[in-house]
Amino acid sequence: MEMLDGVEKIFDQMKPMMKKLKKASYEQNMEGFRRENGHYFREMVDYVEEAGQKEEAAKEIAVLFTEKVGEKFGGKKKISGILQADLNFFMIYYVFPSILLTGSDCAKTTADAVCAEWGNRFKDSKINYADYDTIYKGFREKIFGIF
């Protein structure tokens, strides 16, 4: 079995999970997202934990992850700006916090590598990330009081 086999499926529910995002729906969405996809994030950090060269292993994971996402959404063509913005937000709200929530000592190393590779791989995607609690506290009833 290939590492991170099917990981691109984590984006299948992106549209409904990003729609009308509020504190309560974010919490519910995250619970479901981690229940369905947590094994991918565990696989990522486990690979890095077991490696001798942790940064190198994290970069390998990051390259593999971004390649799979690129194939799913771009294929041979470029990803549209609107779709890329959606993917970026999804990464910020769900993927990075899920990596960090693994509780692994290698979670930050893994997230840093994925974040760097994401920014290199995709146009207009130099993004940052925060942990789940920081994002969750950023909600009032609606995200940052807007929408």
Q: Note the pTM of the prediction, 2 decimals.
A: 0.92
Per-residue confidence in pLDDT tens, the chain, 147 aa: 588 999 999 999 999 999 988 889 999 999 999 999 999 999 999 999 999 999 999 999 999 999 999 999 987 788 999 999 999 999 999 999 999 999 999 999 999 999 999 999 999 899 999 999 999 998 865 555 554
Query: Taking CA 134 as the corner, what is the angle to CA 12 and CA 103, rounded to the nearest 5 degrees?
Result: 70
Is residue 99 within 8 Å of residue 111, measured between CB atoms?
Answer: yes
Is residue 36 within 8 Å of residue 97, measured between CB atoms?
Answer: no
